[in-house]
Every structure is written in C-alpha cells, then in structure tokens.
Amino acid sequence: MKDIKWLVNRLKSMNAVEIIWRIQQRMLQNGEYKKFYKLDKPVTEIPLPGKLKVLQMDINKLSINWEYDSDELFDKLVLLGNFTYEDYKTAWNAGFQTSKVWEERCFSYKISTSQRDDIGDIRTNWELNRHFQFACIAKNYYLTGEMQYLKELDHLFHDWNTHNLFLHGVEWISAMEVAIRINSWVYMYAFLKKSFEKFNQPECTILNEIQSGVLVMVDYITKHRARFSSANNHLVVEMYAVGLAGIVFSYSKWSDYAIKILSVELPKQNSADGVNKETSLHYQALVMEAYGLLWLLMKKNKISVPVVWHQYMRKMSEFVADCCGDYGEVVIFGDNDEGKILDLSGKKVNYYHYVLQLMEMVLGVKYDKHKRVETVRWIMETPERITEQYVPTETKVYREGGFVILRSKDRSVLMAIDCAELGLGSIAAHGHADALSIQLFYKGKPILVDSGTYNYHVPKKYRDEIRSTKAHNTVYVVGIEQADIQGPFLWNNRYKIDEFEYMKRKTSVIIKCGVHYKGIHQKRKLEFDGERHIVLEDEISGSGKAYQCWNLICKADIEQNEIKGDCFSIKTDTNLIESEEGIYSNEYNLLSKNRRFLLPIEKNSIVTEIILN
C-alpha cells in the first residue's frame, strides 16, 4: 500500500511527456538486460561501439600540477559517519547500517534501494563506491614509486570489478554515481600513466581496462541522464562527467553536448541572484564544483566558457561565501549528504571552503581566506591572478533566491532567515519544511540550529522527522505540516511564500516574510540592530494551537518567561514555555539529541527577544 501511494504521488509530479520518457527508459533497460546484463562481465570488458574503439585518453588535457611536491600520502578514506575504512575496504555491497549486503548478482533496475531498513542507507554504501580511494592510491604511487601502492590499487580495482559486474547490483542504479566514478577513474588513470613515465616502468594492462571502462560508463550516462522532474543536481554532475570525457578523449560530440546542457540548466536550476532552487547550500556547492572542474579543463584546452557561466558562478559564489562565517561556521539549509566529485586526499575538509577556492581559480576572485586544500593544490597548474576580493557585507538580501544573511558589525554574529520556496521543480527533492526558519551563530557557536540531514533512507521515521516543520526554527501549528512528505525525496501540498520585504533603518534592519499553507497564514518580522539584539514577531491566522519553535544544542534552561544559555537569552511574554527532546545531525549518519523549546502563541501573535552576550 505504501509503495502504491508513493507511485501515485510520484506520477502526479510528472507531465505526460515525462511519463512517456520513463516508459521508453524501461524499454531501454529491458534491452540492456539482454545486451549487457546477460554477458556477466565487468564494465572493463564490455564491447565498445565502433565509434568509441578508436578513442584514447590524453592526460595532458587535464589540469594537474605535476610539479606539486606533496608529502601528504593517502592512508584511509573518510566514510560517512563512524564507519571505518579498514573494516569496509572491499565490502563493496555492505548495508552498513545492518550486517546485510546488497544483492550483487541481481539486475540493477530490479533492486529497490529506497528506505530499506532491512539492509541500510544506499547513500552510505555509494560513498565507498565513488572510488576516491582509487585516485588517491594512484597519487601515492606517483609520489613514491613504491610498488605496494600499485599492487593495492590493482587488487582493489579488480576486486571491485569482479563483485560489481556491469548492470549487476546497486552500483549501477544511479547515473550520477556512475558519473562520479568516471571522474575518479580518469584521475586514477592520469596518476598511473604519469607514474609509469616518471619511474620508467612499462605500462600495465590496468590502463587499458580503466580507459575502456570509462568509455562504456560515459556512453551509458548519455542514454540514462536525468530528465524532467529528476533533472536537478544529478543532471549537472552527469553532464560534468560527459564533458570531462569529451575533453580528455578529444571527442567533441560529448563535450559540446555537455556544455550546451549545462548552459541551459544554469538559469533553470538557479535564481539570477545566485541561489540554487533546491534551497540546499550543499547541493548548490556540488553544482558549483561540477561547473568549476569542467571550467578548469575548458580554460586549459582553450574551449570558450559561455557568458552565462560567468554570470551565475559569480553570484552563486557570493551566496556560498555569505553563508560562511569568520569562525568556520556555515549556514546550511536543506539536505546535506556531504557529497563531492573530486577528492585527492581522502580526508575530511570544509567542502564550502574547497568549492570557493575552486571558484577563485576560474573567476579570479578571492572568496575564501583559508589554506588551500590538497585537492585544489593538485589541480592548480599555475597560480591564478586575483583581480578582486569578495568580502561579505553585514546584510545581503537574496530577494529572488529567498534568503537574507545578516552579520553583526564586529562579525561575531551570523544569522540567516529562509524565505524561499520548498525546492526545485515538482518534487523539491532536497528541501525541508523550513519556511521562515532562522539559523543563528555567535562567535562560531551554533545557537539556533537547523536539524540537518542524518541520512536519506533508514530509519524512515528519522528522515521524516528531521525534515518536519517542528525540527526548524519557525512556527509550528499542531498536526499541520508546512508541506506533506510523500517519500524520501518527494513532497506534496507545498507551502507558498507570499511576502518578502526588507527595510533598512538608521539603527537596524527589518525583514518581513509571509507564508501560507493548508488554511494557515504566518507572518514573521525580524529586526536586528547589527550588534547583539534581535526582535522577532510572529503572527498566525487559521485554526489550531501554534508554537514558536526554537531548536538548540547548547545548554539552556527555562526561567519563567526566558530561555537562558551561557551566552544568550530568549525572552518572550509568556510563562508557559515548554520543552521536548528533538533530534539533530551535523554530519551525515551521525545523530544526536537536541532540546526543542516551544513557546505558545496566544491571541495569534508572539513577540520574542534574543539577546547575545
């Protein structure tokens, strides 16, 4: 019954053309079952179409700083959560959250991966299978010439291909996962090829296997790229991989195709003032990484970069920079699965700093003051000439994108309010029910927190709870959500923003936002003095008991009409403040408890004062 309900709601999110396309995709899959699946071969042994047989990878077309004298060797891959790389190094089909494994011999398109409590979260599994470790181990071999690295890589590469035959198992379900794997294989190939040259060693057959596998995977993506309601960040990453392959194989059919689609998608998926319509900072950064990496290759190979890329990447870089505070804190609304495309270290880094450093290389604008991450140092062939530096202002209003970012004069306060729609397109896959929600940091310390993501699939109750209205710092009407969750990446009955106003006064700034949903109309007014004082006024109309919700992870106590912490107080005009336990996740797969304070809204309005000290 649950699956039927999901299918009905998913069909409602599609138009007739999309339904026809999906039927065509199913027919294509049936053909691939006979053509590829029944071969029982790894992707490295799949016969290439005639037009692809003649292609050869040219690593000189990649932007790699071969003179970079690094002493940083890869030793382990940071997996999502507390899972240890050594325990899962060759556990390609592990469920992770359980001791079960994903079926590796089943036809890929017959496997359901959504919310499989019986096995685990598929996103956790896919991190291991994106093969960042392959490129990193090849890098180790290039730096040292030690055969142990070549032997380890050869073992892992062939073991993976033995256990993940083409179109067998879960590693072939998502075209975006294939795209990220292509990227890792291309860089693995480059480091191996250069190593054989550097140490005067004969080339191994693994190079031909990698090259053949990459060509098959790119050909596969061109037939299965995301379209219609699914054409979000997935499509961008897929087209990055196609464009990458087109450049390194000197196959303009692929590179021209990818660049054209990427140029069309920029205004479709992003507002003109620089906010990604998925309303997820993380997925905005992922999209920017895809464009930035391909831009580097286009510059190196003298391929013209479309004007629209310049326009949008500058604005999008400003938004990400505005969301980053001076103490390392980052305002992150919406989903965050910590995904990335290129990783040449295997270490955990601040992803937003990395992406801003990448943007610096292509735009010539300095957005980030932190030390360059290792991956950037590897792909920066020549130092870029910085023509300007972007410094976030005290107030930045993204009227079209739907966000306001505020800073205190001394930059110790970072605050944001979400006045954006739920998400991109008809499914809003990565949005949360967080209309008019606020995040607040003081000297880098989170005061009012976003709920985070935890993981996408298991258990379902956590995925639903962490996206719910009450899990965000907004108004909650008991029993009424701002939008209805229909699946892990599907919404229905979405809220609508109906007011967004910004005013600057002599001693303060004022933001007014309004939202309506299911007979409820909420208005929020925020006034900030630019220092330590915030006043919030909420008005609510419609039936039902309503609360102003504040989610905190720092210690705080209720003292009559006040929520008091070490460096803040939240005061209101009611002595009936309640509190309950909530959940919070600041890293994928890590879950902790938070404390949620509920302030009852009497007579349809409430005024709350936040003082930082």
- The domain boundary, picked from 174, 195, 224, lies at 224
Cα dihedral 294, 299, 303, 305 sign: positive
Assess whether pLDDT exceeds 70 at residue 221: yes
Candidates 50, 77, 13, 564; CA nearest to 344 is: 77
**Residues 124-182: pLDDT tens digits?**
999 999 999 999 999 999 999 999 999 999 999 999 999 999 999 999 999 999 999 99
Residue 469 binned pLDDT confidence (cut-offs 50, 70, 90): very high
Q: What's the pLDDT score for residue 12?
A: 79
What is the Cα–Cα distance from 93 to 164, expressed in whole angstroms?
Answer: 9
How high is the mean pLDDT of the chain? 96
Quick one: 218 and 231 in the same domain? Answer: no
313-329 mean pLDDT: 98
Claim to verify: residue 586 and residue 490 sit in the same structural domain? yes
> Do 328 and 415 lie in a common domain?
no
* 402-417: pLDDT as tens digits: 999 999 999 999 999 9
Q: What is the CA radius of gyration of the chain?
A: 25
Q: Is the pLDDT of residue 1 over 70?
A: no
What CATH number does residue 313 fall under? 1.50.10.100
Residue 384 has pLDDT above 90, yes or no: no
**Distance of alpha carbon 356 from alpha carbon 177, whole angstroms:** 23
Measured distance CA(423)–CA(429) in Å, rounded: 7
Return the higher-pLDDT residue of 568 and 13.
568
Quick check: 380 and 357 in contact, CB under 8 A? Answer: no
Residue 8's pLDDT band, with cuts at 50, 70 and 90, is confident
Looking at residue 203, the DSSP 8-state letter turns out to be: P
What's the mean pLDDT in 76-105? Answer: 97
Contact 450, 332 (CB under 8 A): yes
Q: What is the structure's pLDDT at 13? A: 84
What is each CA distance from 359 to 273, 352, 356, 383, in whole angstroms?
17, 11, 5, 13
> Which residue carries 């620089």 as its tokens?
274
Domain span at residue 185?
36-224
Q: Is residue 338 part of a domain?
A: yes
Domain boundary (196, 224, 252) is at 224
273 beta partners: none
Together in a domain, 244 and 361? yes
Are both 333 and 430 inside the same structural domain?
no
216 in the same domain as 86: yes
Q: Mean of the pLDDT values across residues 193-206?
A: 95
Structure token pair of residue 282: 């993380």
CATH code: domain of residue 456: 2.70.98.70
| pLDDT score of 470 more than 60 | yes
- State yes or no: pLDDT of 573 exceeds 80: yes
Query: Is residue 9 over pLDDT 60?
Result: yes
Residue 373 shares a structural domain with residue 411: no
Is 28 within a domain? no
pTM listed for this prediction: 0.97
For residues 441 and 585, membership in a common domain is answered with yes
Beta pairing partners, 440: 415, 448
Is there a single domain that holds both residue 583 and residue 529? yes
Quick check: 411 and 388 in contact, CB under 8 A? no
The band of 574, judged by pLDDT with boundaries at 50, 70 and 90, is confident
Q: What does the alpha-carbon distance between residue 249 and residue 58 come to, in Å, rounded to a whole number?
A: 6
- 337 and 447 assigned to the same domain: no
Residue 7: pLDDT over 70? no
Residue 13 lies in a domain: no
**Amino acid 387: pLDDT:** 84
Task: Give the domain-ending residue among 368, 392, 416.
Answer: 392
Strands of 221-340, DSSP E: none
Looking at the fold, whether 447 and 523 belong to one and the same domain comes out as: yes
Tally of structural domains, the chain? 3
